[in-house]
Amino acid sequence: MSLLAHEHDGVRETAMSVLERFDRAALPALIGALSDERAQVREHAADILGLIGEPEAAPALAKVANDPNVQVRLSVVTALGIIGGNIARHTLKAMQEDSDQNVRQLASRMLERLR
């Protein structure tokens, strides 16, 4: 997972693409990466989980909905908006009260898409 925080964009993008191709098999590693100490790794893990779109990732994404890093929270909102389901709706509703205006607005838009 350290490649998700690599300094070169090309390396990060390749790592993300490879993980996405692993589809469901990558879920445990990606869910584990949501607790990485590096915000960039958490952000990219959330992005990839959204691209994979498996509902079983929703509980793990919901747990990081209050991440201290706004970019991580934005990625969580996007991923949950793609995944959908009750956990996603409940979490997105709570994220409409986020301290960051962009997170609040995106959470509202994603909730509208899920209705």
pLDDT of residue 11: 56
Contact assessment for residue 16 and residue 30, using Cβ atoms and an 8 Å cutoff: no
**Cα–Cα distance for residue pair 89/84, rounded to 1 Å:** 7
Cα angle: 6, vertex 63, 107; to 5 degrees: 85
Band of pLDDT at residue 115, cut at 50, 70 and 90: confident
pLDDT of residue 4: 58
In this structure, what CATH number is given to the domain that contains residue 95?
A: 1.25.10.10
* Contact of 12 with 6, CB cutoff 8 Å: yes
The pLDDT value recorded for residue 17 is 64
Average pLDDT over residues 86-109: 98
Domain count, the chain: 1
The range of the structural domain enclosing residue 23 comes to 2-114
DSSP state of 38: S
Provide the token pair at 43: 């952000």
Do residues 42 and 70 make contact, with C-beta atoms less than 8 angstroms apart?
A: no
Residue-wise pLDDT tens digits, 38-74: 999 999 999 999 999 999 999 999 999 999 999 999 9
Length of the chain counted residue by residue:
115
Q: Give the pLDDT confidence of 67-95 residue by residue, as tens digits.
A: 999 999 999 999 999 999 999 999 999 99
pLDDT at 25: 82
